[in-house]
Structure 1
């Protein structure tokens, strides 16, 4: 959702983004009050909470994931962070294959694509080696590396958000950036 908030695409609408959570159409509700409650929580709550990250002094921070050093937890961690990077970029692109982005946002998207690929590769490796003996020391070390990549991911997301906000407010020309291919 943060990617959509930062998107330079003037056609991004909160209701369309929220509908995308259900495949593009809002679910049916039993009553108008139920609809208002959920949509109010998502628009007035989550959307507005994430909007604060457009302020240079309020960088995005991924939710901490405390965990025991197990292969399953490591795989889940890689999968979650990979999906977060992917979701940010998808929101920024507003469903398009490419987007006009300022140069710094373009660089950030390239880095986020690399981070996404590495995170999802860890998850894939864990899935392919399920049932094999676990090396707890290696898992602990890999978790440390993923936490470092998470910090880089946060920095790149923040840079992309600020770059797009600056471009939107100043009307700066952007670059056309393709969505990096998943490896």
Structure 2
């Protein structure tokens, strides 16, 4: 069973995503939004990102009010809440899950972590093959790619070699995964902070748009 510290707002977003059959799981939506918030691409619009969750179009709704409820939850609730992680005092946390020592939990844990890392990278690159990142963010992206590949390897191994649970070995593996999760959180947060800092510096150094009176 997944363990989360989800509050009422987060639960409401999950319920709306499920109601509208969103093909992207909530844990991946979170990290994709966070990547979109951090990306150096200045043309990111939340509405376009939300449409992307359903393949480019908003989901069908029974009424305008129902659609507005969905958009409000995703933008005013989830998106705006994630912008707080642009501060060092507000570290980002990945989804909390069960680490009971079973092969089933191991496969799910690795899959969710892969989807979270992949979601962040999708949001950060925002459809671009290459983006200009500040040095610390570039370094973090390299680490995130390596961690994502490790999660892929665990998922593939679990699918190829199903076998009875070995509690001792699984406990050791989960210990390593918890340590890797802390590294993932650190690298994601450092990428977000680095991009936010670079954006502030760019705006501060931009020439004033005020007109000169002659």
Which residue of 185, 189, 213 maps to 1:158? 189
Which residue of 147, 151, 156 maps to 1:115? 147
- State whether residues 7 and 93 of structure 1, in contact with CA within 8 Å, keep that contact through their aligned partners in structure 2: yes
For 1:140 and 1:98, the matched residues in 2 are separated by 39
Q: Moved runs in structure 1, 4+ residues, more than 6 A?
A: none
What's the counterpart of residue 105 of structure 1?
137
The alignment partner of 1:99 has SS state of coil
- Normalised by the length of structure 2, the TM-score is 0.78
- Normalised by the length of structure 1, the TM-score is 0.90
Specify every segment of 5 or more residues in structure 2 that has no aligned partner in the other structure, as ranges: 1-32, 204-214
The alpha-carbon deviation at position 68 of structure 1 amounts to 2.1
**Which of 1 and 2 has greater Rg?**
2
What's the counterpart of residue 70 of structure 1?
102
The alpha-carbon deviation at position 4 of structure 1 amounts to 0.4
Which residue of 40, 50, 53 maps to 1:21? 53
What's the counterpart of residue 180 of structure 1?
none
The alignment partner of 1:98 has SS state of coil
The alpha-carbon deviation at position 170 of structure 1 amounts to 0.7
User: Cα deviation per residue 1:20-78 (whole Å; 9 max; x = unaligned)?
Assistant: 11112111211100010001000000001111101111010112112321111101101
What's the counterpart of residue 93 of structure 1?
125
Specify every segment of 5 or more residues in structure 1 that has no aligned partner in the other structure, as ranges: 173-183
For 1:137 and 1:25, the matched residues in 2 are separated by 48
Q: Which has the higher contact order (CA 8 A, sep 6+)?
A: 1
For 1:56 and 1:17, the matched residues in 2 are separated by 25
- State whether residues 81 and 119 of structure 1, in contact with CA within 8 Å, keep that contact through their aligned partners in structure 2: yes
Which residue of 182, 198, 202 maps to 1:171? 202
The alpha-carbon deviation at position 133 of structure 1 amounts to 2.2
- State whether residues 141 and 191 of structure 2, in contact with CA within 8 Å, keep that contact through their aligned partners in structure 1: yes
- State whether residues 102 and 167 of structure 1, in contact with CA within 8 Å, keep that contact through their aligned partners in structure 2: yes
For 1:126 and 1:14, the matched residues in 2 are separated by 36
What's the counterpart of residue 177 of structure 1?
none
For 1:74 and 1:34, the matched residues in 2 are separated by 37
Indicate yes or no: 2:151 matched with 1:137. no
Superposed CA RMSD in Å reads 1.1
Q: How many residues align?
A: 171
- State whether residues 99 and 174 of structure 2, in contact with CA within 8 Å, keep that contact through their aligned partners in structure 1: no
